[in-house]
A = this chain, B = another copy of it.
Amino acid sequence: MTSKVETVVSVRSRNFVHSENLPQKVVSLLYGDIDSGVLAPGNRLPTEQQLAARLGVSRNVIREAIAQLRADGIVEARQGIGVFVLAPEQRAAIRIDRAALQDAGNMERLFELRSVLETEAAALAAIRRSPDQLAAIKAHLDRMSGEERWEDGSIDADLAFHREIAKATDNTYIHTFISFVCEQIRQTIYYARKINPLHDLVTVNVGEHVRIYDALVAGDPKAAAHAMRHHIHGAAERVGVKLGEYPREAETAAKRKKAAT
């Protein structure tokens, strides 16, 4: 078999809460210990037997959990010695706790990341989009417009619209990252709709998308970036999140006080 070095970007476990595996629980637990510093980088994990005994599961479950951590680059297992926590620089693993996304503050940060990524992506897409990609983007836009209310289909079309733009950047990495974020957004929206019914501002939403699309057609990166940023800020507000001022256009914000973390 090939000895490739691969990079895997993965969205783990969709919204099925139904039956979380035992190994998954162990993974969450160990992740928590590592994040909270109980298990610092360089530390050795308890032995598989100890973990099995402490958590009341079999050693196989522990092994599957550790296999995942190892696959994610969080720990390193050395036969005959033990399992060790890797330094954050080495681990290069992103973990987004989806439960944390239900916090409004985290949702705000997620939308901010989205703004950062997609604003520039729109500018790139405006320059590079092919006619075919324009058509695909238009198709999603039409599908979105067809919906009367903000239903699931509309959300799917909305996100597909954004993914298509990301694809039009002709940059796999940007596409990958934005797809990833979009998936998070989808989960977040599903949750947000449970706690408070969203405003049915389809008209506004579609209008914002149309402006983005027009900028792409015109091949105007500046306009595309601006329209995208405006849209994402609007979308954030519609799910109950208020983003800060546009960083690039509002230097005055530099004077506001910032509490140290």
Contact = CB atoms under 8 A, between A and B. Distances in A.
Classify the interface of chain A: helix, strand, loop or mixed: helix
Contacts of A27: 6
Contacts of A7: 11-12, 94-98, 183-184
B64 A32 contact: no
Contacts of A9: 9-10, 93-96, 180
A171 B109 contact: yes
A77 to B, nearest CB: 9
A128 B258 contact: yes
Contacts of A120: 115-116, 119-120, 247-248
B92 A248 contact: no
Contact of A67 (B23, B32, B97, B128): B23
A8 B11 contact: yes
A42 to B, nearest CB: 16
Among A60, A106, A112, chain B packs the most CB atoms within 10 A around the CB of A112
Among A71, A91, A132, chain B packs the most CB atoms within 10 A around the CB of A71
A166 B99 CA distance: 23
A17 interface: yes
A93 B11 contact: yes
A78 to B, nearest CB: 9
Interface stretch (A44-52, A141-149, A194-202, A218-226): A218-226
Interface of A: 1-15, 17, 19-20, 23, 25, 27-29, 31-32, 60, 63-64, 67-68, 71-74, 79, 88-99, 106, 109-110, 112-113, 115-117, 119-121, 123-124, 126-133, 170-174, 176-177, 179-180, 183-184, 218-222, 225, 244, 247-248, 250-251, 253-256, 258-261
17 contacts: A5-B20, A5-B99, A6-B13, A6-B96, A7-B94, A7-B184, A8-B10, A9-B180, A11-B91, A12-B73, A71-B72, A92-B184, A94-B177, A112-B174, A113-B171, A218-B254, A219-B255
Q: Which 4 A-B pairs have the closest CB atoms?
A: A219-B254, A9-B94, A92-B183, A5-B98
